[in-house]
Amino acid sequence: MIAVEVENLSKRFRRQTVQPYTTIKSAIVDVFWRRRSGEAATFEVLSGITFSVKQGQALSIIGRNGSGKSTLLKVLAGIYRADHGRIRVHGRIGALLELGTGFHPEFSGRENVFINGIILGLSKKEIRQRFDQIVQFAGLEGFIDEPVKTYSSGMYMRLGFAVAVHADLDILLIDEILAVGDVAFQLKCFDKIAEFRQHGKTIILVSHDLASAEQLSDEVIWLDRGIMREQGKPQRVISHYRWDMLGQEERRGLSEHH
């Protein structure tokens, strides 16, 4: 059974170098100027991405900064819309992206658990039943009624992870977040991820931590400037990626010496 299927996906962004948004003034100016200078500048963040993940497998996406890893996850999560291509998802999908995964800083931890849980597809009743478990997993027993803006980044992340793993998701998208927690919590997360996979759930993970990517995943995709450079067994792809990075470092080193 295939859990996620991506076919020839591409995504463009509008360049937002000078002004991140339009004002009425610039819109009026644009009518007269930009039309003549052609299309608004865009650049391709992802192009021709094709892969599929089987149910119960873990896929890691690696690549340098700006290679499009996070954008790919956001497209899969339904936050961005792809410009071309097809995505088919079988099952309930949920994402843990960066820090403060959709938390409202002014709201208490308790309120955010409910808001987040509902977004991930739980009913209020289901959240109430799991509430203590979630708080315990996050280790936030004493702080759950404080506004989350007072939380440390580790606490933020723990709470986000705790809600997501208790939400009965079939497919979990994780972006870098494991890097924030302390070792004890990281181990807890690894255990939970292993348990997840035993239950036939699918994980797609973006990571800079190559060791954990190798340890956790069945398959690895290497993204390079929005294009899939390689896909395959973790060991092989990761070692090629390492070689490539080393090669670049060396070239840079050489050019600096001469």
Partner 1 sequence: MLALFRELLAYRALIHILVARDLKARYRGSVLGLLWTLLNPLLHMGIYALLFSVYMRSATERYAVFLLCGLLPWIWFSASLMMGATSIVEGGSLLKKVFFPAHVLPTVTVTANFVNFLLGIPILFTFLVLYGVQMGLPVLLLPFIIVCQFAFTLGLTFMLAAVSVHYRDIPHILGHFLTFWFFLSPIVYPATQVPESYRFILLLNPFVPFVVAYQDILLYNIYPSPGVCGGMIGISLGVLLCGLWIFTHLRWSFAEEI
Nearest to partner 1 of 111, 218 (CB atom) = 111
Residue 16 Cβ vs partner 1, minimum distance, rounded to whole Å: 9
Task: Quote the CA–CA distance of 31 and 39 in Å, as a whole number.
Answer: 12
Q: Give the pair of three-digit tokens for residue 158.
A: 């723990």
Residue 167 Cβ vs partner 1, minimum distance, rounded to whole Å: 11
Q: Is the CB of residue 210 less than 8 Å from the CB of residue 238?
A: yes
Who contacts 152 (Cβ-Cβ below 8 Å, separation ≥6)?
none
Q: How far apart are the first and last CA of the chain?
A: 55
Could you tell me the sign of the dihedral formed by the alpha carbons of 82, 86, 91, 97, in that order? negative
Q: Judge residue 55's burial from the number of C-beta atoms within 10 Å of its C-beta, 0-12 exposed, 13-18 middle, 19 or more buried.
A: middle
Count of residues binding partner 1 (CB under 8 A)? 35
**Binding residue for partner 1, selected from 18, 24, 183, 254, defined by CB under 8 A:** 24
Nearest to partner 1 of 164, 193 (CB atom) = 164
Could you say whether residue 202 binds partner 1 (CB under 8 A)?
no
Nearest to partner 1 of 78, 247 (CB atom) = 78
The residue count of the chain comes to 258
Task: Quote the CA–CA distance of 96 and 156 in Å, as a whole number.
Answer: 11
Residue 85 Cβ vs partner 1, minimum distance, rounded to whole Å: 15
Task: Quote the CA–CA distance of 40 and 27 in Å, as a whole number.
Answer: 12
Could you say whether residue 236 binds partner 1 (CB under 8 A)?
no
Stretch that binds partner 1, among 21-29, 31-39, 211-219, 223-231 (CB under 8 A): 21-29
Tell me which residues in 73-132 interact with partner 1 (CB under 8 A): 74, 77-81, 94-95, 97-98, 100-107, 111, 114-116, 118-119, 123-124
Which residues bind to partner 1, rule: CB under 8 A?
Answer: 13-14, 20-25, 27, 74, 77-81, 94-95, 97-98, 100-107, 111, 114-116, 118-119, 123-124
